[in-house]
Structures are given as C-alpha cells and as structure tokens.
Structure 1
Amino acid sequence: YFKTSKSQICQDYFVASYFNFKSNGVFIEFGATDGIKDSNTYSLEKQLNWSGVLVEPIKSFYTKLKENRDAICLNNVVYNTSGNNIPFIESKTKELSTIKGYEMLDKHNRDINNSLIYDIETISLQDIIEKHLPHKEIDYLSIDTEGSEYQILKNIDFNVYNFKIITVEHNYTKNRQKIYKLLTSFGYERILSNISRWDDYYISNS
C-alpha cells in the first residue's frame, strides 16, 4: 500500500493507515516547503492519488513545490483573514520561517539578524476551501506554520467545516493547550500523544 514516508514522524503513514489506505482522499497542507522534504502529503498524493491544496509562503520553496506536486499550490501565508500584506520572516533555516510577531512563540532559536523580512499576502483557511475545494469533505488538514497555528484554527467555523484528521505542530508551547481546548470543544479527540512528539493528532468524532 505505502512504500515510503516523507513526513518527519510518519504523519503521512498515520493518515493513510487511519483511512485504511484509501485512494482519492483530499488534503490541505500549510507549510508545504518544496513538497517533498518532510511533506505530510507527498506520499498520499503520489502513492494513493490524493489531491488538495498546498500553501507555502517562501518563494524559493514555492517554485520547487509547483514542480514537485500535482496539487493546487498557493504562494501565500495562511492567517485569520485574506488579502492583507503582512511582514514575514524568512529564517536562514527556511523551515523555521514564520509571520513576524510569532518568531518568539516556539522553542526554535532563530537568528533574526540573518533573516529576510518581506511582505506576503494572507489567505484564510475558509477562503482556501471556498475557492479551491468547495463542497468537498477534507480528509486531512496539516498545519505547520511555526507559531501561528492557534490563530489560524480559532478563526475556523467548525460548525461549517469538518476535517476528519488534523495534525498540528505545537513545539511544546503554551498554544498546545489552547489548541487542545479549542478542538476538543468541537468534538475532536487527541490521540497518540505519547508518540506524536512536537505534533498533535486530532480525529473528528462527528
């Protein structure tokens, strides 16, 4: 069924196995990098014919992302509203890049003095769904935005949108508990927290 995992801690294998390795699922992934390295959706797309939307704010990653993937690719930063230009910090270690103001919210030690800072247009999760995946059930939502995860999630109307699985990076910050309270209030259950390390895995019970 599943030959290789590209995820850091086998998130893709967890998702595939949860759905009994079904084909033609639908995903959304934030922080997609080049679409291959540490990707939570590459193997789902290439091995199980899943489709969806990938969002990556860093231009050099985005160029490679479009080459590497068949899914819809967006060069935006996901935030609570769409159409705003906000400052974005491109860290020397690009995978640690984040929205300005969130750089101190996780445990990564970024060298801001050696970072690029530029404006990038925001897009909300709601607009991603309405524009690109209308009337589709979203099987899997993967969020790795280096600090802004809670801000993104708290602006989603979970009474309208349901995601069967959400994996969200927390990096052991105070936002982990905020995310837990938010998602469990909408019927999500956190599972496998003893092995998921810096991510949390949530499944929908609705």
Structure 2
Amino acid sequence: MVSKRIQMLLALVFVTYVINRISQNNLNSDRRPRTAERNESLSSQDQTVTNDASEENRTTVAPCVISQYDYKGVAMDDPHLVDYIRRELLHPPSPLPYSLKDPKKEDFSQFAQSKYAVNDILHGMRGGFFVEAGALDGEFISNTLYLEKELGWRGLLVEPDPETYKLLRQKHRNAFTINAALSTTQEATDLILEVKDEIFGHAHLSKEGVRVKGIPLYSILLALEIKVVDFFSLDVESFEVKVLESIPWEKVQFRLMCIEINHIPEGLDYLVKFLTDKGYKFLGVREIDAWFGWPKLLEQTMKT
C-alpha cells in the first residue's frame, strides 16, 4: 500500500511538473509577441517623435540656410538668398558721426551730379532712398553723400573691392552698405574683380583678380524691403547694361537714374532703347552720364 501511495505521489508530482512546464512555455510564448509588439510600438513612437521634430523644423527653421559656400546659382528672388543677404552681407547705417576727409564740402560728386539731380529734376526732394553702385570709399566723387548729409536721404552703398570697402565703412555713412558686386544675371554668383587704381579704388570685372560675390540688385532690394528707388547711381566700369538687363523691371521702379556711359560697349543708343522700351523717359546726357526717369514719379518732383 505504501509502495502504491509513493508511486501515485510520484506520478502526481510528475504530472504537476509537466503541467507547469507546459504552462511556462505557453507563458513565454505569449510574452515574446508582446515584447516584440512593445518594441514595435516604441519604434513607432520614436518615429513619430522624429517626424514631429522634422515637421517643427520645417515650420520654424528654413529648410535651406544659405551660407557663403552655397549662394552661387541661387535665383534672385529665392527667400533663402534674401535672408542670407540680410543676415550676413548687409551692414546697417552707422550710428557714429561722419569721419570725412573734407567735412565742410557740400557736393562730393565728380560733375555736380548730386546738385543737378536735386535742383533740376527732384526739385529739392528730401528723405528719399538712393542706391549707389560703385560707391568707392563713400566720399570721393560720391553721387549720394550730399543727398544723405544735407537732405536726410537714406540708401544703399554697393562696393565690391574689399580694401576700398574697408575705407567706406570708416566714413560712417548713414546708409546700408554691402561688400559685393552687382550680378550681371538674375542669380547670385562669384565675379572676378581687377583693381586698376589702388589709390582711388577704381576696379572692373575681369578674368583675373580678386574673387567677389555677385549679388543681384533686386535681391538686395528685397532684403531691404524697397520697391521704389528715388535715385540710382550706376557706375560699374562697362557692365552697366548687363546689370540693368538683370533687373525685373515690373517689380521695382526708379524715380531717377544716373548711368555712366563712357565705358559701355553696347553704346548709348542701345541703352536708350532698352530703358525707353521699359517705360523710362530719356532725360539726356550730361558729361559722362545718361539720365533716365520713371514719368509718373518724375511728375511729382521734376521742375517744369
């Protein structure tokens, strides 16, 4: 009897052991999919966080931030180029007093272009906005310093030569400045600048020389949020027409333009036809410059 009881007890233990093993295996089997499911869920959550972050980046940070290394070939109205110009290239007006070689001088321009513009065409207009391309050091033969200093104008000075630009900054002009050349296309690019006269800063585009940024004028105006320029002085040593051809004339207007013509290879007739076809009025030639204006804007200021 005892032997049978022992056998029955052993059998019961064995059966219990087997049942426990089977249950354990089933439990492990159930746990594995749940663990995998949890891992998959975590992976999915991680992916969601990443996507959310990417979405946030797309809405709060520009997807393409242009730098000094990748601005070339970017279209003139690309908002990232405009942001790069505003953020990295433009220097604001100086808050410091002027530091001029001849502070008592009134009209600094070579052939009294400033006085001619104000007295004969703009009728003493005050508080306008100018652009001077080929600004040199901001004082020597400047066509805009009189407007700024005497009539309260603000504006933009464009000078491509790095060494001359340093001198320009030292004048403390009350205008935005940029160390760049005006692009001859509707894209930002690099241009080669050959300095012809180290004393006066005269320079021209060439195949050999200093590499400088070529920025479309329209891009700079977008960065400044300017749609109407009251006086545009353009002196870029024979590339005036190419710069003009790059401007989207339907998007910006110029009240008065003074364009140096003594070096342009296309000739005066080509320039006159090009701008009159755009709706501008040819006002004539004075010394080395051709003068043009937008008729409706000139009606507001021009003497009769």
Per the TM superposition, whether the score is higher than 0.5 is: yes
C-alpha contact (below 8 Å) 2:161/2:201 kept by paired residues: no
Q: What's the offset of the Cα at 1:166?
A: 0.5
The answer to whether the aligner puts 1:178 opposite 2:280 as a matched pair is no
**Residues 34-89 of structure 1 deviation map (CA, whole Å, 9 limit, x = unaligned):** 11110000010000110111000112221121222110010001112443222111
The answer to whether the aligner puts 1:11 opposite 2:103 as a matched pair is no
Q: Which is helix-richer, 1 or 2?
A: 2
C-alpha contact (below 8 Å) 2:131/2:229 kept by paired residues: yes
Task: Provide the C-alpha distance between the structure 2 equivalents of 1:173 and 1:85, rounded to a whole number of angstroms.
Answer: 21
C-alpha contact (below 8 Å) 2:128/2:154 kept by paired residues: yes
RMSD: 1.8
- Number of residue equivalences: 187
The answer to whether the aligner puts 1:72 opposite 2:162 as a matched pair is no
Partner of 2:191: 86
**Residues 6-42 of structure 1 deviation map (CA, whole Å, 9 limit, x = unaligned):** 1111111122222221221100110000111100000
Partner of 2:78: none
**Residues 117-176 of structure 1 deviation map (CA, whole Å, 9 limit, x = unaligned):** 1110111111011002x1442101110000110000011121221100011011064422
Q: 1:88 to 1:81 in 2, by over 3 A?
A: farther
Report the 3-state secondary structure (helix = DSSP H, G, I; strand = E; otherwise coil) of the residue aligned with 1:28: strand
Q: What's the offset of the Cα at 1:192?
A: 3.6
C-alpha contact (below 8 Å) 1:172/1:198 kept by paired residues: no
- The normalised TM-score by structure 2 is 0.58
Task: Provide the C-alpha distance between the structure 2 equivalents of 1:127 and 1:119, rounded to a whole number of angstroms.
Answer: 20
Map 1:14-33 onto structure 2 (within 5 A): 14-17=116-119, 18-33=121-136
Long gaps (5+) in structure 1: 102-115
Report the 3-state secondary structure (helix = DSSP H, G, I; strand = E; otherwise coil) of the residue aligned with 1:52: strand
The answer to whether the aligner puts 1:159 opposite 2:250 as a matched pair is yes
Partner of 2:287: 197
The answer to whether the aligner puts 1:125 opposite 2:217 as a matched pair is yes
Long gaps (5+) in structure 2: 1-104, 297-304
Task: Provide the C-alpha distance between the structure 1 equivalents of 2:294 and 2:216, rounded to a whole number of angstroms.
Answer: 21
C-alpha contact (below 8 Å) 1:82/1:121 kept by paired residues: no
Q: What's the offset of the Cα at 1:4?
A: 2.1
The answer to whether the aligner puts 1:51 opposite 2:51 as a matched pair is no
Report the 3-state secondary structure (helix = DSSP H, G, I; strand = E; otherwise coil) of the residue aligned with 1:150: helix
Quick one: which of 231, 240, 253 aligns to 1:140? Answer: 231
Map 1:30-45 onto structure 2 (within 5 A): 30-45=133-148
Q: Match of 1:83, as an amino acid?
A: A
Partner of 1:187: 279
Aligned sequence identity (%):
26
Q: 1:136 to 1:76 in 2, by over 3 A?
A: same
Task: Provide the C-alpha distance between the structure 2 equivalents of 1:24 and 1:144, rounded to a whole number of angstroms.
Answer: 23
Partner of 1:97: 203
C-alpha contact (below 8 Å) 2:235/2:259 kept by paired residues: yes
Q: Match of 2:294, as an amino acid?
A: S
Q: 1:152 to 1:172 in 2, by over 3 A?
A: closer
